[in-house]
Amino acid sequence: MKKSYPLLSLIIMTSCWTGYKEVKYSEMAAPPKLVLKGEEILITTTSSKEYPSFTIFEVLSEIDGPAKIVFLRGKEAMYRDLKNEYKMNVKSIKDSISAYKFIWLDPDKKRTELTLEVDSIR
């Protein structure tokens, strides 16, 4: 049995290095900040307070036009470059962006509404 520990450790480390997990809203050190700048939304995130060695490396958006909702989800993993700003182009949104709700969608489908700020300096 003792000989299997190094193999098991290697499997766990490899899966952590190559894999990723989705980010729960509650595990972020601070809520994501959304700022509308022209035709882009700047999304600023912080690292995980539950998993300090994980970094968010991607924020995905999905627009539900009829419901006027923008869903945001994040991916995090170990050994990724530290990045905390992401851009979302809103040219494809035909209605006023202020009519939309912004929702952080957890892996378990729990929803948390976010506030969109408007950059007054243009």
Q: pLDDT in tens for each of the 122 residues of the chain?
A: 455 566 555 555 554 555 788 999 999 989 999 999 988 999 999 888 887 788 888 999 999 989 999 999 999 888 777 788 999 988 877 778 888 999 999 999 999 999 999 876 54
Report if residue 8 sits inside a domain: no
Report if residue 4 sits inside a domain: no
Q: Give CA angle at 48 (68, 13), nearest 5°.
A: 120
User: What domain count does the chain have?
Assistant: 1
Where in the sequence is the domain holding 67, given as residue range(s)?
21-118
Report if residue 56 sits inside a domain: yes
Burial class, 93, CB count within 10 angstroms (exposed 0-12 / middle 13-18 / buried 19+): middle
- The beta-carbon contacts of 48-52 under 8 Å, at least 24 apart in sequence, are 48/23, 48/76, 51/27, 51/76
Instruction: For residue 87, give both structure tokens.
Output: 């851009």
Report if residue 16 sits inside a domain: no
Report if residue 15 sits inside a domain: no
Report if residue 57 sits inside a domain: yes
